[in-house]
Chain A
């Protein structure tokens, strides 16, 4: 399996993502600069976290219109796997790869800590390494992670088993106190219809070594490599 990471001015988690993919793949992913219009032939593109273009206009809006993202979108429609983490999630929703939008956190605070994350489906190449209902500890670090979509879209996501992760408390309890950003229906990550695109606000790439305090993110990258290889 070959993977690439798209890098924008203002991306800042690309090297963490590179470490996670290298650990799972056994070789380094290709780093692609945002101005490149040709994307190497890869099986997976990761859009990393950060503050692409300084979050100007709206988070992810300018990156979503970059030449490389157009290519990522075209390839994803042909089945290539795409994962957008944090700012990457904002970018791929702005680009229309996933429905909805990430609004400013309801409490207006930048939140940076480990959160409880409940796996809502193991039916995807990203989550097949987890059990449905499993509770993970993964860090978040964002100001705009408050997932919003109209009720019809939310019902559709639920009916089609496209919610990948929800914020939760101990034992997987859904509770407003454990929702770090006010996200609608506690949504932390979603899949597209074809289940080859995942967007999530938490950072699995920052939970892959014992020194991170959690290794719960590891299974995501490993299951991805297994499923796509």
Chain B
């Protein structure tokens, strides 16, 4: 089983990198860009076949290491 994890900055947390990307897109003429927030995408291959157990394990991984919940949110997507 594979876990796909998206880590994003919580709203209200300054994202200077996202802002720099938005500025670069504006410079390229993409005027429709309003705002950019940058995050991380992590794939974890798991030996676990039980979805509930896998979800619980990945949740712990996010809380302990993969995300810093002071500033980041995470979303877990499990695929076979």
Contacts and interface: CB of A to CB of B under 8 A. Distances in A.
Given A103-B14, A103-B71, A146-B14, A65 B20 contact: no
Interface residues of B, number: 11
Contacts of B65: 57, 61-62, 65
B64 A65 contact: yes
A contact face: mostly helix, strand, loop, or mixed: loop
Nearest to A93: B70
B56 interface: no
A108 B20 contact: yes
Interface residues of A, number: 20
A42 interface: no
B68 A107 contact: no
Interface of B: 13-14, 16-17, 20, 64-66, 68, 70-71
Given A94-B68, A101-B68, A103-B13, 19 more contacts: A57-B65, A57-B66, A61-B65, A61-B68, A62-B65, A65-B64, A99-B70, A100-B70, A101-B70, A103-B14, A103-B16, A104-B17, A106-B14, A108-B16, A108-B17, A108-B20, A148-B14, A150-B70, A182-B14
Interface of A: 57-58, 61-62, 65, 94, 99-101, 103-108, 146, 148-150, 182
5 contacts: A58-B68, A103-B14, A108-B17, A108-B20, A150-B70
